[in-house]
Amino acid sequence: MRCISDLRQADAALEQISKRATGDEQEKAGKIVESILQGIKAEGDEALARYTEQFDGFKPCPINVSPEILEKAWEETPKKLQQALQLAHQRIKAFHESQIPTDLLIKGIHGEKLGRRWRPVQKAGIYIPGGRAAYPSTVLMNAIPAQVAGVENIFMVSPANSSGQINNVVLAAAHLVGLDKVFRIGGAQAIGALAYGTKTVEKVDVISGPGNIYVTLAKKSVYGKVGIDSLAGPSEVLIIADQTAQVEQVAADLLAQAEHDPLAASILLTTESRLAAALPQEITRQLRENPRAEICMTSLQNWGLIVICNDLESCIKLSNRFAPEHLELLIENPHSIVEKTHNAGAIFIGHWSPEAVGDYLAGPNHTLPTSGTARFSGALGVETFMKNTSLIEFTKTAFDETSDAVMELAKSEGLHSHGESIKIRSSV
C-alpha cells in the first residue's frame, strides 16, 4: 500500500483509484458485449445456450433450476447457516418495509386535485454474480426489495460452474425468499435475455444486481429498453481513523474489502501517523493464514492507499471528493462528522460497525454506488422496483382561473395547438 502525506498527491491518487475500471479493457469488453446482445436479440435461447457453453463451459439444458432443486439446496444447508440467512432475511425485510413510498394527493386552491401514485413494475430480473465467490447475501438484497415493492414476477439469473451447478447456498437463499424462476445463465448474455426476452426467459421491466465488467456494460447498453438499478464498478472502502482506532481492526476491515476482487480499493485516511506506520506489518500478519491472500495482495498493491492527514477536516474533504461506496468512521466521536460527510453510499458509524455487518444483515441494502457515483446516487431500495404516476384532476373553476396563464406560456413556446386546447374549453 502506498502511504502519502501530501494532500495534493492524495487527491491525485484517489482520482486514479476512482477510474480504475476504465481504459482499453473496457473498450474491448464493450465490443464483445454488443456482439453478445445482438446475438441474444436475434436468436434467443439458441444464442443463450451457445454463449453459456462458450464462456461457462456447459450447455444449459434445461436453463432453469427446478423448485425441487431449490428446496433440496435449503434442506442441505447447515442449520447454523440457515439461521443466519433467516436472521438476515428478517432484518433486511423489516428495513425495506419502512421504505415503501406513500401516495400523495393534495387539493389546490381552486379545488383541483394533484397527486403522485406509486406502483410496482410487473417483472424484475435480479443478477447474482458467481465466479470468485458465492453471494447468497446478494440474493436477499435484491429479491427482498422487489418483493416488498409488490413485484409479482421475479426472475433470478446466476452463472453456474463448468458442471452446470450454481452454488448451493445461493440456491438456498433463493428458496428462502420464495423465488421459483431461477436460471443457470450469467454474463452479458443473461442481461440480454432479461432485457429482450427469449422463449424461456421473459422480458423484464427492471434489472438489478452487480456483476463483472461485461455485466455492467450490458446493463448500460440495455438501459432505456429496461430500467436498471445502477452501473456497479469494483467495490471500495474508505476508513477515516484517529488515535482511538485499533490497527488490528483497521487492517481486518481493509482486507475484508480487498478480498472481493483484485480491482477492489481499500483506503485509509488517518490523523495518526503511528497507525499508518503499523498498518502494513499488521496486514502482512493477517494475510499469513488468509485463503484469499493472493487476491488481497493484488488489490492492496494496486489500489490500496494510506493518507496521513493533519486533521479530521482534511479527511472529510478528501472523502467527500472521492465519494466512497463504503465509509467507515473509526474515530472517537464519529457523530461529530456524520453530517459533514455528504458523499458516501453507506456510512458505518463507530468502532462496532464494520462494513461486513452492512454486507450481510444490518438491514440497509448493500448494493451501493461505486466509483464516485455516490455524489449523485444512492443504495438500491424498494423504489428501484417501483414507478410513480402523476395524477391531475382540475375542476372548471381551477381551469378557468389558470387558463390565461397556460395560453400565455403556450404562446411563448410557439405551440399553437397547446393554446387552442385551452381556448376551446374556455368558451364552454
What amino acid positions are annotated as catalytic residues?
A: 325-326
The β-bridge partners of 65 are 182
Cell triple for 159: 452463472
The β-bridge partners of 329 are 240, 349
DSSP 229: S
Question: Which 3 state secondary structure label does DSSP give 121?
Answer: coil
Cell triple for 101: 413510498
Beta-strand pair 305-308/326-330: unpaired
**167 contacts 130 by C-beta, under 8 angstroms:** yes
Cell triple for 61: 439444458
**56 contacts 166 by C-beta, under 8 angstroms:** no
Q: What is d(CA 65, CA 198) in angstroms, rounded to the nearest whole number?
A: 16
Question: Which 3 state secondary structure label does DSSP give 250?
Answer: helix
**Number of other residues whose CB lies within 10 A of the CB of residue 195:** 24
Cell triple for 100: 415503501
Dihedral sign, Cα of residue 249, residue 254, residue 256, residue 259: negative
Beta-carbon contacts of residue 425 (< 8 Å; ≥ 6 apart): 399, 403
Beta-carbon contacts of residue 40 (< 8 Å; ≥ 6 apart): 47, 48, 51, 189, 192, 193, 196, 198
Q: What is d(CA 383, CA 96) in angstroms, rounded to the nearest whole number?
A: 10
303 burial (CB, 10 Å; 0-12 / 13-18 / 19+) is buried
Q: Which amino acid is present at 373?
A: T
Cell triple for 151: 413485484
**Burial state string for 100-135 with b = 16 or more CB within 10 A and e = fewer than 16:** eeeeeeeebeeebeeeeebebbebbbbbbbbeeebb
The β-bridge partners of 305 are 2, 267
